[in-house]
């Protein structure tokens, strides 16, 4: 084993041991309103107070959660990311590499996480759907109550469960997961844009301007088409991809959303967009958006990563470096079958991230800043994303062994 791979392997084993010891439960940047103290105060009924409380927890480099009685909990999206990672590790073991567990051990973990993820669904919608385990105030516009389903959380859970199905061949898992397409079709709102449409972020009215969220709706529908050949779902998915590609800049970039306040360009949401469009093409055999993909990828790689592997949050500034940025590029390049030509970049990114954003206990930091960093362990935002990304890394290394 090379020294480079050995360092990354050691890093991943520390992360894996940490997350397993915590039983995949943890805190989240946005979970401040789970505080039993806050819930006992009258301020919980005031939108500005809710927003200030959440932002205070999110921005503080000091973790007040234990003091203010915020419990560690399972987050559905986080569980989905861990499940995706274990599915990659299982495939690694199938190929003969058992550095991270035997097939039997990994299958046991996959079955347990699959059951857990299915149990975390939000009831009362047209199909399987998932939300977050905390109340969340998005600016002053929306109060997302705990477990309000979103297309983002749902998409990550759907992809994970379908990966699990491919290993276990449990038809019940397949059937329950594919009902998420009905959640997208019936419970999310749609807004026309040019010759296409945009899906809403959640079931709440008005949050229909986020490009990556709309594409994740398309991604769910493309999975439905892959397994059921439901043409309506493929057609709706295509319309969402049409709108997203229409919203792409001439330079290949995407802004986050259509509101003036959403006009930034950032790394990991660009990665989500590329992943979703690539998945749509793979699941439907519709390659008509390849030019959009190639332009987007070029912009992504040229604008969001420094030569030494340091990732940037925004296209025009580095800080704060968010842990999603190094994690998502590995997953995106794996999805697009472009890991091998970018192996040096990925290796540099991983080494930079391990050196600058991993605690000696194994967990990864939320953000790296110029003057001070938030070194709080967040199970969904930080550890689950890096666990999935590093699992993809080792799987790709094995696949491309000379």
CA nearest neighbour of 384 among 29, 122, 146, 103: 29
CA nearest neighbour of 189 among 157, 141, 247, 236: 236
Contact 361, 66 (CB under 8 A): no
How far is residue 91's CA from residue 169's CA, in Å, rounded to a whole number? 14
Q: Using CA of residue 287, residue 325, residue 196, residue 123, what is the dihedral sign?
A: positive
Helix pair angle (151-168, 76-94), 10° resolution: 30
What value does the mean pLDDT take over residues 129-136? 94
C-alpha count within 13 angstroms, C-beta hemisphere, residue 259? 9
**Span 185-230, pLDDT tens digits:** 999 999 999 999 999 999 987 789 999 999 999 999 999 999 999 9
The tokens describing 162, both together, are: 């379908």
Model confidence at 329, pLDDT cuts 50, 70, 90, reads very high
**Span 344-398, pLDDT tens digits:** 999 999 999 999 999 999 999 999 988 877 889 999 999 999 999 999 999 999 9
pLDDT at 55 over 90: no
Q: 26 φ, ψ to 5°?
A: -175, -170
Residue 121 is classified by DSSP as P
Q: Using CA of residue 203, residue 207, residue 208, residue 214, what is the dihedral sign?
A: negative
Helix segments in 253-337, DSSP class H: 267-284, 290-303, 324-335
**Span 252-292, pLDDT tens digits:** 999 999 999 999 999 999 999 999 999 999 999 999 999 99
CA of residue 360 relative to chain centroid, distance? 24
What value does the mean pLDDT take over residues 5-27? 96
Residue 202 is classified by DSSP as B
Can you tell me whether residue 333 is helix, strand or coil?
helix
The CA-to-CA distance between both ends of the chain, in Å, stands at 14
């Amino acid at each position: 084993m090379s020294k480079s791979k050995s360092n990354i392997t050691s890093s991943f084993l520390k992360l894996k041991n940490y997350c397993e010891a915590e039983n995949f439960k943890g805190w989240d940047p946005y979970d401040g309103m789970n505080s039993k103290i806050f819930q006992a105060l009258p301020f919980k009924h005031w939108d500005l107070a809710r927003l200030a409380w959440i932002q205070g927890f999110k921005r503080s480099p000091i973790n007040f959660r234990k003091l203010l009685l915020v419990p560690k909990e399972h987050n559905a999206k986080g569980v989905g990311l861990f499940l995706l990672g274990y599915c990659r590790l299982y495939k690694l073991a199938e190929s003969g590499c058992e550095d991270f567990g035997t097939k039997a051990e990994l299958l046991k973990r996959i079955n347990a996480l699959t059951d857990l993820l299915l149990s975390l669904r939000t009831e009362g919608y047209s199909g399987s759907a998932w939300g977050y385990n905390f109340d969340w105030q998005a600016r002053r516009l929306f109060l997302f109550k705990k477990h309000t389903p979103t297309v983002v959380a749902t998409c990550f859970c759907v992809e994970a469960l379908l990966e699990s199905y491919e290993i276990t061949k449990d038809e019940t898992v397949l059937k329950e997961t594919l009902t998420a397409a009905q959640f997208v079709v019936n419970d999310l709102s749609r807004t026309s844009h040019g010759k296409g449409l945009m899906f809403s972020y959640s079931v709440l009215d008005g949050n229909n301007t986020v490009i990556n969220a709309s594409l994740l709706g398309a991604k769910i529908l493309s999975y439905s088409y892959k397994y059921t050949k439901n043409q309506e779902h493929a057609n709706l998915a295509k319309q969402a991809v049409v709108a997203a590609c229409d919203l792409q800049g001439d330079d290949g970039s995407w802004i986050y959303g259509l509101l003036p306040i959403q006009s930034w360009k950032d790394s990991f949401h660009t990665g989500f967009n590329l992943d979703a469009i690539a998945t749509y093409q793979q699941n439907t055999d519709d390659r008509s958006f390849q030019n959009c993909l190639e332009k987007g990828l070029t912009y992504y790689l040229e604008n969001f990563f420094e030569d030494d592997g340091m990732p940037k949050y925004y296209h025009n500034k580095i800080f704060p470096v968010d842990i999603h940025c190094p994690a998502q590029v590995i997953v995106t390049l794996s999805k697009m079958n472009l890991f091998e030509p970018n192996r040096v970049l990925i290796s540099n990114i991983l080494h930079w991230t391990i050196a600058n954003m991993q605690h000696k206990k194994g967990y990864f930091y939320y953000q790296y800043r110029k003057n001070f960093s938030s070194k709080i362990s967040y199970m969904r935002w930080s550890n689950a994303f890096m666990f999935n990304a590093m699992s993809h890394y080792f799987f790709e290394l094995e696949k491309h062994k000379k």
